[in-house]
Copies of this chain bind each other. A is one copy, B any other.
Amino acid sequence: MSDIYRASTTAPVNIAVIKYWGKRDPKLNLPTNSSLSVTLSQADLRTHTTASCSASYPKEDTLLLNGTPQDVSGARTQACFRELRALRTQLEGSDSSVPKLATLPLKIVSENNFPTAAGLASSAAGFAALVRAIANLYKLPSSPTDLSRIARQGSGSACRSLFGGYVGWEQGSASDGSDSVAFQVAPASHWPTMRAVILVVSAAKKGVSSTTGMQTTVATSSLFASRASETVPRRMAEMQKAIQEKDFEAFGKVTMMDSNSFHATCLDTYPPIFYLNDVSRAAIKVVESINAAAGRIVAAYTFDAGPNAVVYYLEENEKDVAGLFKSILEEKDGWKGARGEKIEAQGAAFEKVKEEAGVAVELLKEGVSRVILTGVGEGPVETEESLIDEKGEAVSS
Contact = CB atoms under 8 A, between A and B. Distances in A.
A70 interface: no
A164 B254 CA distance: 45
A258 to B, nearest CB: 10
A268 interface: yes
A368 to B, nearest CB: 15
Q: How many copies does the complex hold?
A: 2
A129 to B, nearest CB: 34
Contacts of A220: 257
Given A204-B359, A278-B277, A278-B278, A223 B272 contact: no
A274 B280 CA distance: 11
Nearest to A274: B281
Contact of A268 (B204, B260, B272, B284): B260
A202 to B, nearest CB: 13
Interface stretch (A25-33, A226-234, A332-340): A226-234
Interface in A239-284: 253, 256-257, 260-261, 263-265, 267-272, 274, 277-278, 281, 284
A288 interface: yes
Closest 9 CB pairs of A and B: A264-B268, A264-B264, A226-B226, A222-B231, A223-B223, A264-B267, A278-B278, A260-B272, A204-B359
Interface of A: 204-205, 220-223, 225-227, 230-231, 234, 253, 256-257, 260-261, 263-265, 267-272, 274, 277-278, 281, 284, 288, 359
18 contacts: A204-B359, A220-B257, A221-B264, A222-B234, A222-B261, A223-B227, A223-B231, A223-B261, A223-B264, A223-B265, A253-B270, A256-B270, A260-B270, A260-B272, A264-B264, A264-B265, A267-B267, A277-B278
Given A223-B223, A260-B272, 5 more contacts: A204-B359, A222-B230, A267-B267, A277-B281, A278-B278
